[in-house]
Every structure is written in C-alpha cells, then in structure tokens.
Amino acid sequence: MKILLIGAGGVGGAFTAIAARRDFFEALVVADYDLARAERAAATDPRYVAAQVDASDAASVTALCREHGITHVMNAVDPVFNMPVFTGAFEAGADYLDMAMSLSKPHPERPHELCGVKLGDEQFAVAGEWEAAGRLALVGMGVEPGLSDVFARYAADHLFSEIDELGTRDGANLVVTDDDGNEIFAPSFSMWTTIEECLNPPVIWAGDGKGNGDWHTTAPFSEPEVFDFPEGIGPVECVNVEHEEVLLMPRWVDCKRATFKYGLGEEFITILKVLHTLGLDRTEKVRVKGVEVSPRDVVAAVLPDPATVGPRMRGKTCAGLWVTGRGKDGAERSTYLYHVVDNEWTMREYGHQCVVWQTAVNPVVALELLARGTWSGAGVLGPEAFDAVPFLDLLTEYGSPCGTQEL
C-alpha cells in the first residue's frame, strides 16, 4: 500500500504520528499546499516523503498519484476541497478515503424544512462509476462521521433487534488557556469546517425502521438537550448540527430516526450567531483595500491553529452513539457506545491534541484493515458497509478502546 496524504494540518499531522507506529504500508507521501508544513510532518518517519499539492485542482492530485504509484488517497483537508481530491484519486486509479463528505447547499425556499443538496450527494451521484471501475471510496471515515458509524453497524449486528433512534452525541470538557492561565476561545478543530456544519440547517432522518423514510431539516441549534457524558465529562447541552452520520447511517442500518447533536456550549453558539449576523461566515470573496478575501478564511486565519493548542489544552473529548430500541431479547434497550480521549494522554504519547488525534486514528485503522484484506469493497461506501468488530478490535490494539454505557 502506497498512501498519498493530502493535508498536513492538525489531523494530517496526527495521522502521520499514528501511522509511523504501524507497518501495513510501504510508503506515505505527505502533501500540502504549504510544502514546509508537509516537510515537517514527513520528517517523522523514513517511509515518508513530502510534496506540494493544490487540493483545489484534481489534475494536481492525479499527477502526484501517478508520480508516486499511489494506491490510496487519504483526504485530510477541509471538505470544500473534497470533490477535486475525490475526482483526482479516481482519475489516477487509486482508492480514496475522507473524513467529511462533499458539501451541502440549503433548500432555496424552505431551508429549515426541506433538504437542498445533501452532504455527500455529489459523491454518491458517481458511486456507479467507482463500482464499475472496481475502486473504493470510503467516505466519512473520521471519528464523527466514522467511528460513530462503526458503532451503528455494531449496534445493529450485535446489540439490537429493532432500532428506534441512532443519535450521535458529541461532547467535551476541554479548556484552552493563554500564557497566564486564563481561558480563551480557541476551537480544537478546523474553524472553517465548524462554521460550515454548525450554521447550515441540521438534517434529521425519519423512517419506519424498515429502510423506508426520508431526510428533512430544522433550524440551526434546535432541540437542545442535556446529555451526561461518561468518564468524568458530565452533563453538556447538545443541539442539532448538520453532520454526515445522519446521511450515511440510514443507507445501511435500518432505524426510525437518525440525529446528530453537538455539545457546543452557550459561548460558542453565541460566537457563531454573531459571525453569521455580521456575514463573517460567508465563503464568497469580498474586496478589502484592493484585495479579495473570503470572510470565513479570515476568521479561521486569526484564530489559533488547532494543531498548536495542545500544550495549552486540558480535558477530555467524547464521541459516541446513543442507540434506542429493542435488544436481541426483544426488551427495550438504551445504550451509549462511546470513545473518550484524554488530551494529556495524546500529548504525552503522540505530541498531538486529543480532538485531531481522535479524528486521525480512525482512517489509519481503516487503511490497515484494507491493507490486510479484512475490509474490501467497491463503490462509494460509508463505514456502516463493513464489519464493525475487526475495526473495534484493532482500535483497542492501538491503545484506545471504546466503551459502552446502558442508559
């Protein structure tokens, strides 16, 4: 296996640190628009080489694949670049993985009721071409989406006979401080992506539990609920957010409802609302003193780089799936399957903060399963399309086991 990693930011850097401890691949090309950043990430292992790539240009991706004989493209850039990277991999005859799917577009007249272009629609539209070519595009293979989708498959196969709701719930008690120890606002993940998913209309699946149903939307930050997260994180208010799980899970797992709720916190929600009110969430470029800039790019640029906040961060992050329905014995069941990561541990063991580490470890595990032949397939597939047990076993082998809590 020869891997092309596109994106050497927070998640990409954590990916290289995790993969360096494994022997399932022959070579890894670390590519970024910023060659110096790619070189820093590639310096961690003799199997790595650095390269420059323009992720907005499919031809650039294809050329780099062909130059290095790439078999698998790992997409670790913001999802605005998904389609060029996805297309470039296909043209090169390589398999493909990403951690977030092609972007959505709200319904032009009724955005808080009806779906417009859904997350992943552009990728699923060409699923037949990938399948006919015998190539695999494994989409949404991060932590959320990704591990949460693996949990859905595991729950359906081993824990439940009927599923009422697949409810992804994400929360943390992370705190970032300045040099004087004061708490500061510093997102632990890409601000560009966070704005995209939090200000778009959230999507909800409603069905009959037998494969029939459809998606609808609601208003951002709707249906707040307090969820009590495990391992000392405690109660966190969670709200509806647009996310890929809701678009992926019902394609392979029968359920009556699928939701995604994120523990953003009052301060973060207020900041996001202000950005939207001021138009600073816009991606269309505006002219400022003779220079054209995207307001959202400016917001992301002035905030601390998520890859650098680890030493000033403390706490834990939790990704999980709350499943309700009937167990294999027919009795009512409510179970939370989860993965908690402590920032102190990831910084000590890998030198990367816990949110990017938790995101990056899952595609490394998936690639190892593909290299072994444990997972295989063709077309555009989500994590739900594969056996969950080998994935969860290998994640434990990596030193980061998951947990289960009955609610």
CB-based contact 79:296 (threshold 8 Å): no
17 within some domain: no
The total number of structural domains in the chain stands at 1
Name all contacts of 130-135 with Cβ < 8 Å and 24+ positions apart: 130/90, 130/378, 130/379, 130/380, 131/378, 131/379, 131/380, 133/90, 133/93, 133/378, 134/378, 135/90, 135/93, 135/94, 135/95, 135/96, 135/378
pLDDT at 224: 94
Whether the CB-CB separation of 218 and 237 falls below 8 Å is answered with no
CB 95 within 8 A of CB 122: no
Residues 6+ apart with CB under 8 A from 326: 160, 161, 162, 332, 333
Structure tokens at 351: 């030198």
Q: Which residues, including other chains, have CB under 8 Å from residue 179's CB and lie 6 or more apart?
A: none
Task: Give pLDDT, residue 8.
Answer: 96
The predicted structure's pLDDT at residue 178: 84
* DSSP conformation class of 105: B
Spatial separation of the C-alpha atoms in residues 391 and 388, rounded to whole Å: 5
Q: How far is CA 136 from the centre of its chain?
A: 18
Tokens of 285: 């470029």
- Higher-pLDDT residue of 311 and 14 is 14
Residue 115 lies in a domain: no
Which pLDDT does position 363 carry in this prediction? 98
Question: Is residue 146 within 8 Å of 377, Cβ to Cβ?
Answer: no
pLDDT digits (tens, 9 = 90+) for 142-174: 999 999 999 999 999 999 999 999 999 999 999
In a domain, 63, yes or no: no
What pLDDT, on a 0 to 100 scale, did the predictor assign at position 177? 87
Q: Residue 290 is part of which domain span?
A: 147-358
Q: How many CB atoms lie within 10 A of CB 179?
A: 7
254, pLDDT greater than 80: yes
Q: Which long-range contacts (CB under 8 A, 24 or more apart) does 103-109 make?
A: 103/79, 103/196, 104/200, 104/203, 104/242, 106/200, 106/201, 106/217, 107/201, 107/217
Other C-beta atoms lying within 10 Å of the C-beta of residue 7: 26
β 316-327/95-97 pair status: unpaired
pLDDT of residue 267: 82
Confidence (pTM): 0.93
The encoded tokens of residue 266 equal 């009052």
The predicted model gives 71-78 an average pLDDT of 97
- For residue 98, give both structure tokens: 């990403």
Structural domain includes residue 314: yes
Question: Looking at residue 175, which CATH number applies to its domain?
Answer: 3.30.360.10
| Residue 206, strand partner residues | 214, 257
Whether 53 is in a domain gets the answer no
> Is 187 a residue whose pLDDT tops 80?
no
Mean pLDDT of 110-124: 97
Rounded distance, CA 52 to CA 97, Å? 19
Is 19 part of a structural domain of the chain?
no
Tokens representing 110 are: 């009724």
CB 5 within 8 A of CB 31: yes
Give rounded-to-5 percent helix, strand, coil for the chain: 35, 30, 35
For the chain, give the number of residues. 407
Q: Residue 373: inside a domain, yes or no? A: no
Domain contains 268: yes
